[in-house]
Amino acid sequence: MSCRVGFVGLGVMGGPMAGHLLAKGFDLTVWNRTASKTRPLAEAGARVAESLEALGAACDAVVLCVNRTEDVRECLERLAPALARGSLAIDHSTISPVAAREFQARLRAEGIGFVDAPVTGGSMGAQKGQLTVFCGGEEDDVRRALPIVGAYARRAERVGGPGSGQMMKMANQIAVAGSLLGLCEALAFARKAGLDLGQTVELVGSGAAGSWAFQNYGPKILAEDWSPGFSIDNQLKDFAYCEEAAKAVGAAIPGTELVERLLADLRDQGLGGQTTAALYRRLLQLGSDS
């Protein structure tokens, strides 16, 4: 590929995504705050930049996959002076929609394109190159981003102007809250009722109640495997953005607010690093307390 791509943020999601870019023949340069995470990609043929500024100067497009709004802001403040006019920034982080619009406007004023492009599909989707990507931005910027994003996406679409990608991700996270609650509440009930949990996951998950949560989190609950995946801490971060966005548009999200409170209880017990499927444990506790 002629496009020189930089990738920033090589965690559970970003590492596999960058690997797909390399496998598809992109000229790839990577940077990560924890330098050791660059080693597997370097061994596979990627260049490792000594700094964010050096990465920006060497690339036509930069992809970010970090954590919070503040992390994206810090990266862009360091990258923007090094990026050439006409270059492109693609942000796969889940952040505030208001901030995404701010970043787009700031970079556009400097002749740099910006696409807010949060993803869904989890760590398995990243590993398999089967993510769904919600792209917000100007049509031309999204058009330029799609060949890059396509290296690790099953489906990627423009969903509107700047900030719209993040708004679609908020809708996604609101739906995730409901399906997570449905799974964990059903299994906590089944356990209290003396039902076989494995059979419950198989039978209930194969019918009208079936969902991504049943398929992916059901087995983790059966194995009492509370490792992330997607952690409680990260989910609570996303729910804060959901509440901000819901307030801005006048939407009610009572189900999401309930799941947030229950997960916050687990975080307060020191369990914020566990998988969100540990919500099942909190519901068992509530049942025992009633």
What are 175's two structure tokens?
């739906």
Tens-place pLDDT, residues 217-261 = 999 999 999 998 889 999 999 999 999 999 999 999 999 999 999
Which residues of the chain are in CATH 3.40.50.720 domains? 4-161
Is 178 within 8 Å of 208 (Cβ atoms)?
no
Q: Which of 14, 63, 24, 66 is nearest to 44 (CA)?
A: 24
What is the fold, at CATH topology level, of the domain defined by 4-161? Rossmann fold (3.40.50)
Which residues of the chain are in CATH 1.10.1040.10 domains? 167-289
- Name the active-site residue from 128, 169, 220, 237: 169
Is 157 within 8 Å of 115 (Cβ atoms)?
no
What is the fold, at CATH topology level, of the domain defined by 167-289? N-(1-d-carboxylethyl)-l-norvaline Dehydrogenase; domain 2 (1.10.1040)
Q: Is 128 a catalytic residue?
A: no
β-pair type (119-120, 131-136): antiparallel
**pLDDT bucket at 289, cuts 50 / 70 / 90:** low
Distance in angstroms (rounded) separating the CA atoms of residues 259 and 278: 12
pTM over 0.85: yes
Please say whether the dihedral angle defined by the alpha carbons of residues 143, 144, 148 and 149, taken in this order, is positive or negative: negative
Tens-place pLDDT, residues 157-193 = 999 999 999 999 999 999 999 999 999 999 999 999 9
